[in-house]
Amino acid sequence: MTYDTVVFDNDGVLVGRTRFDVLRDATRDAFEECGVEEPDPDDVEQMTIGATPGSVGTVCQTYDLDPGSFWRTRDDVVSRAQQQEAREGRKTPYDDLDELQDLDVQMGIVSSNQQATVDFLVDHFDGFDRMGAAYGREPTIHSLQLRKPNPHYIEQALGDLDADNALFVGDNESDVRAAENAGIDSAFIRRPHRRDWELNVWPTWEIERLSDLHDIVE
């Protein structure tokens, strides 16, 4: 199989994941910015990971918040927290990122993280200069419906890159499903946090490091 394009998930693939407590504390700060000084911890957790348009609406109704305004604030505060983690050296690229420099394909990024976070990380760290497209979510409730496994952002990136035969590299089952939904192959990377993970999906490839892509692509 010959690929002319490889698109990557970002967190957990190219850069380390942000600790959950950082995301949770930022989400709590977002409630406070919206005037809710003591939100229910369960509501904070629900808005930290896996929020849906429905759950955002339900939680906002509890506190008499405008859902759209709250979510914009939440995404902004959480993005700024992740940027701070990167500035202070707690969120860094994986040490094999430079293996992509001589990979003879077009490359891009598709993340379910905020577009502002993706843009910052790409600009802040070395090693991303070959990425011809970099997509994250807009700070809207609607964007939650477009997260992987929805292929929306993958398809946008493939269009930008004019890809003929693409591969998507991720560390979540939703990444594999998103690739399937986009009609392309997938590679599941077993970073340390996924070393013993039992998959319920069937990626085209399984890899240990980004350097393994040389054998697959070339």
Interior angle at CA 6, CA 189 and CA 109, nearest 5 = 80
- Give the residue extent of every domain in the chain: 3-15+91-213, 18-86
State pLDDT tens for residues 123-176. Answer: 999 999 999 999 999 999 999 999 999 999 999 999 999 999 999 999 999 999
> What pLDDT was estimated at residue 65?
98
Give the model's confidence band at 210: pLDDT under 50 very low, under 70 low, under 90 confident, else very high: very high
> What pLDDT was estimated at residue 2?
87
CATH class of the region 3-15+91-213: alpha beta
Any idea which residue has 């890159």 for tokens? Answer: 161
The rounded distance, in Å, linking the Cα atoms of 37 and 20 is 21
The rounded distance, in Å, linking the Cα atoms of 170 and 6 is 11
Beta bridge partners of 185: 167
State pLDDT tens for residues 168-201. Answer: 999 999 999 999 999 999 999 999 999 999 999 9
